Structures are given as structure tokens and as C-alpha cells.
Amino acid sequence: MRLLVFSDIHGDEAALARLIQIEADGYFAAGDLTSWGRGLDRLGRLLAHRGRKVWVLPGNHESAEAVAELAARYDLNAFHEQALEWNGYHIAGLGYSNPTPFNTPGEYSEAEIARRLERFAALKPLVLICHCPPYATALDRIRQGVHAGSRSLREFVDRHRPEYLLCGHIHEAEGVSVSLGLTKAFNVGKRGYLLELAPR
């Protein structure tokens, strides 16, 4: 089973078109297809080429409502706060980010992130797809000594140990992969990451 996970397209139609040409069993857009929600329809038309094989999360630049409307219009799957079972894995998604200095449309407090993640705590084995990365890791490092990820997500990963975590949001960490205890974690960025899962 091949899952293509990508994030932070920010209106780059050429990058999205390249991703959609890659053969996969599922395509997961992990937020920020746009900047400030502009041009979402153009990107929806590209995602529609893969139709029901596409699951979409809102990033901090989109609202959950706008992404749900996009999914309905182009026959995609809205994935915010949803989980599905596939080949023996639970795949779960949470969009939005922890607070930023920019007052973007899709931000949660740390308490809200913790509350919304809790619905996934009992799912094993878990592939967790979030827009924001966990705090104080190579996945959320903006520059040496400066981290901007979610403390609540880091606590969830440390406590519940999903098998995989895939995220985006911090552009400077695009392409970084780390192990957080038993969790293999990736900042997928707009280049994307093809996760291959053997059936269980």
C-alpha cells in the first residue's frame, strides 16, 4: 500500500500536478494548499484527477469549512479529525496548526490540539497525518535553537507512539525525517513523501 503525503503547496500548481502524476493508492494533502485560502478551486480541479483517492486536511491557511466545501465540490474526502482503517492500519488526520504570529485562519490553542488528538489515542497501529509538526524536533526547526511546532502533538507522540507521523507547516524542515522513540516521523513538504505500508 502506497500513500503519498504532501503539504504546503501554497498555490504551486506545477508542484501539485507533479505529485498527482505519481502512482499511489491514496493521496493525502496535509494542509496549506493555498496561501490565505486564495485559489483553492484551481487546486481542487487538479486533485479531482485522483478523485476519491484524495484526502484533504486544512492547514493554517485554510478553514476546515472551506476544505470540506472543496472536497464536496470535487468529490474528494475531507480528512480533518477523521480516521480510516486500511490494510490493518488506522490512518488519522488533524489539520490546522498551533498559534502562529500571523493570525492565519486555521490555528488551534495547544489545549484544543490535545483535545482533538485524544480521539486517536486508542488507534493501533496508527499512521498520524497532521499539518503541524511536534515541538522541539528537527521537524519544526526554523533555525538553530528556534522551534515552532506543537507541544501537544509532541506529548501525544511521546505518550501514544504512533507508528508513523507525517506533517508539514515548517518549510525550513521540508524533507527531514527523524525517529521519535518508536515513531518514524517525516516533514513531507511540497515534494511529498511516499509511505509504503506492508499489509498487516
**Cβ atoms 133, 140 nearer than 8 A:** yes
- Which domain CATH number covers 155? 3.60.21.10
What residues make up the domain containing 51? Answer: 2-196
Task: Read off the pLDDT of each residue in 114-131 and give the average, rounded to a whole number.
Answer: 98
For 56-103, what is each residue's pLDDT tens digit? 999 999 999 999 999 999 999 999 999 999 999 999 999 999 999 999
User: How many folded domains does the chain comprise?
Assistant: 1
pLDDT bin (cut points 50, 70, 90) of residue 200 is confident
Q: Is 138 exposed, middle or buried (0-12, 13-18, 19+ CB in 10 A)?
A: middle
> For the whole model, what pTM was predicted?
0.98
